[in-house]
Amino acid sequence: MLGTPLHVWIVFAVTTAAALVIDMGVFHRKNHTIALREALLESAAWISVSLLFNLWLYYSQGTQVGVEFLTGYLVEKSLSVDNIFVFLLIFQSFQVPRESQHKVLFLGVLGALVMRAAFVLAGVELLQSFHAVLYVFGALLLLTGLKMLFPGKRVMRPERNPLVLMARRVIPVTEQFEGERFFVKQAGKWIATPLFLALVAVEAMDIIFSVDSVPAVLAITRNAFIVYSSNVFAILGLRALYFALADLLPRFRFLHQGLAGILVFVGAKITLSEWLPVSATVSLGVIVGVLALTVAASLLFPAVSEKTK
């Protein structure tokens, strides 16, 4: 299994499957509006599961694997925070009721698990077959980081996404929501609801996110298991993190600059790896340092609008 023992893959699969079953079968058996306290507890639970799995890797597979997983997880978790802004925009654009947002995010996560697996396998295979792809990945991360560093005014219209427009052309869509249903039957024909279009928009954005996130972890390690598992654990906790931080993230005014710094660092690391190798431990220290600096700067120098509240 791409250099990783089969039993490690099995433990990973069982852990993620059990966590998902408990999440949807116990805590979210009925759709409801997720309050801040519940979201914070769930987010803490997902982070704890991820760290426990990391601890098991550290003791069962060695220090290198443990450090690489933690570094990859922190990179993915950091980048996923930026996704929350996009999800918030999607739900606002399609006017998705708050009690229906968890269902969209859950199905979006399941789709993301499949897409990330394809991206990881493709990325590892490309790096093994074509060494020059290494520099393409590095340049992509550097450009993305620089673009985030000087973003200007970002205007996104998820309802105009090509996949959403294609879905509208192929499938008739109702003008109103029908509870938690993605499709309804009218006059003998199945018609999509706006909730389905919101799901299509979420999946479309994850394709874009994958272009940045997978190469970012490939800059840390070429181990396909670590790249995929760190992606998965970061994605699984994204739903809870969304409900916990959606209203708080605007207060972190330097967040984009911090994420940009991480992307620039991993882009430079993968580009210069042959001449200036950087260990996973050093990478972990740099990423933790950038995140700590970003949070501290945001708290010490809040936006002017916040000072006047």
Domain ranges of the chain: 6-130+153-251
pLDDT band at 151 (very low <50, low <70, confident <90, very high): low
pLDDT value, residue 49: 92
Express as a percent the part of the chain with pLDDT over 70. 88
Query: What share of the chain has pLDDT > 90, as a percent?
Result: 13
Cβ–Cβ contacts within 10 Å for residue 82, how many? 18
Q: Is the pTM of this model over 0.85?
A: no
CA 72 to chain centre: 12
Q: What is the pLDDT of residue 75?
A: 87
| Top-confidence residue, 71 or 165 | 71
Q: Which of 57-71, 122-136, 138-152 has the highest mean pLDDT?
A: 57-71
The pLDDT of residue 304: 61
Of the pLDDT bands very low, low, confident and very high (cuts 50, 70, 90), residue 31 is: low
pLDDT at 156: 62
- The 10s digit of each residue's pLDDT in 191-200 is 888 888 888 8
229-251: pLDDT as tens digits: 998 998 888 877 777 776 666 66
Q: For 207-227, write each residue's pLDDT tens digit.
A: 877 777 788 888 888 888 999
- Whole-angstrom CA distances from 137 to 234, 259, 277 are 21, 17, 16
- Mean pLDDT over residues 50-73, rounded? 93
Residue 54's pLDDT band (cuts 50, 70, 90) = very high
